[in-house]
Structure 1
Amino acid sequence: MEATELIKKVRQIEIKTRGLSNHIFAGEYHSAFKGRGMTFSEVREYQFGDDVRNIDWNVTARLNHPFVKVFEEERELTVMLLIDVSGSHEFGTQMRYKRNVATEIAATLAFSAIQNNDKIGMVFFSNKIEKFIPPQKGRKHILHLIRELITFTPENSETDISEALRFMKNAIKKRCTCFVISDFMDDRFEDALKIANQKHDIVALKVYDKRETEIPPVGWMKLKDAETQQIRWVNTSSSQVREHYRRWWIENHTRTQTIFRKSGVDHVSVATDEDYVKALMSLFHKR
Structure 2
Amino acid sequence: MIHTQAVTHTTRAELVRLEADARALRLPVTGSARARPRGFQRSRLRGRGMTFAEVREYQPGDDIRTIDWRVTARRQSPHAKIYEEERERPVLLIADLGDTLFFASTGAYKQVRCAQATALLAWLALGSGDQVGGLVFNNTELETLKPARRKKAVVRLLDALDRLQHQPSAPPVQPVPDARLDRALQEARHAARTGSRVFIVSDFMAITDQTVPLLAGLSRHNSVTALRIQDPLEASLPERGQFSVASPSGPITFDAGNPAFRRAWQEKTGAHELRLEDTFRRAGMPWLTLSTAQPPAEALLGLIGAGGRLL
- Distance in 2, matches of 1:232 and 1:98, equals 16
Match of 2:230 in 1: 208
Report deviation, 1:222. 7.3
Q: Does the CA contact (< 8 Å) of 1:129 and 1:163 recur in 2?
A: no
Q: Does the CA contact (< 8 Å) of 1:10 and 1:147 recur in 2?
A: no
- Distance in 2, matches of 1:185 and 1:100, equals 16
Match of 1:253 in 2: 273
Match of 1:160 in 2: 180
Alignment counterpart, residue 50 of structure 2, candidates 32, 36, 46: 36
Alignment counterpart, residue 97 of structure 2, candidates 74, 82, 85: 85
Q: Secondary structure at the match of 2:233?
A: helix
Check 1:142–1:129 CA distance in 2 against 1; reply closer, same or farther (3 A cut): same
Paired residue type of 2:232: K
Q: Does the CA contact (< 8 Å) of 2:110 and 2:292 recur in 1?
A: yes
- Which has the larger displacement, 253-262 or 209-218? 209-218
Alignment counterpart, residue 15 of structure 1, candidates 13, 20, 23: 20
Alignment of 1:177-188 (within 5 A): 177-188=197-208
Unmatched runs of 5 consecutive residues or more in structure 2: 1-9, 35-44, 55-81, 306-310
Alignment of 1:80-119 (within 5 A): 80-119=92-131
Q: Does the CA contact (< 8 Å) of 1:169 and 1:200 recur in 2?
A: no
Q: Does the CA contact (< 8 Å) of 1:214 and 1:242 recur in 2?
A: no
Q: Secondary structure at the match of 1:276?
A: coil
Is 2:235 the counterpart of 1:242?
A: no
Match of 1:174 in 2: 194
Match of 1:195 in 2: 217
- Distance in 2, matches of 1:274 and 1:6, equals 18
Unmatched runs of 5 consecutive residues or more in structure 1: 41-69
Please list the CA deviations of residues 119-138 of structure 1 after superposition, one character each: whole Å capped at 9, or x if unmatched. 11111123455211111112
Check 1:8–1:39 CA distance in 2 against 1; reply closer, same or farther (3 A cut): same
Q: Does the CA contact (< 8 Å) of 2:94 and 2:134 recur in 1?
A: yes
Paired residue type of 2:292: T
Check 1:116–1:13 CA distance in 2 against 1; reply closer, same or farther (3 A cut): closer
- The structure with the largest helix share of the pair is 1
Q: Does the CA contact (< 8 Å) of 2:98 and 2:138 recur in 1?
A: yes
Q: Does the CA contact (< 8 Å) of 1:215 and 1:236 recur in 2?
A: yes
Is 2:134 the counterpart of 1:125?
A: no
- Which has the larger displacement, 150-159 or 127-136? 150-159
Check 1:129–1:168 CA distance in 2 against 1; reply closer, same or farther (3 A cut): farther
- Distance in 2, matches of 1:233 and 1:11, equals 35
Compute the RMSD of aligned alpha carbons.
Answer: 3.4
- Distance in 2, matches of 1:183 and 1:139, equals 28
TM normalised by structure 2 equals: 0.66
- Distance in 2, matches of 1:254 and 1:38, equals 39
- Distance in 2, matches of 1:17 and 1:116, equals 11
- Distance in 1, matches of 2:21 and 2:134, equals 20
Of structures 1 and 2, the larger Rg is shown by: 1
Give % identity: 20
- Which has the larger displacement, 273-282 or 168-177? 273-282
Match of 1:136 in 2: 148
Q: Secondary structure at the match of 1:174?
A: coil
TM normalised by structure 1 equals: 0.71
Q: Does the CA contact (< 8 Å) of 2:48 and 2:222 recur in 1?
A: no
Match of 2:37 in 1: none
Is 2:293 the counterpart of 1:273?
A: yes
Report deviation, 1:233. 6.9
Check 1:112–1:11 CA distance in 2 against 1; reply closer, same or farther (3 A cut): closer
Q: Secondary structure at the match of 2:88?
A: coil
Paired residue type of 1:75: R
Check 1:113–1:284 CA distance in 2 against 1; reply closer, same or farther (3 A cut): closer
Report deviation, 1:267. 0.7
Paired residue type of 1:184: F
Paired residue type of 1:199: H
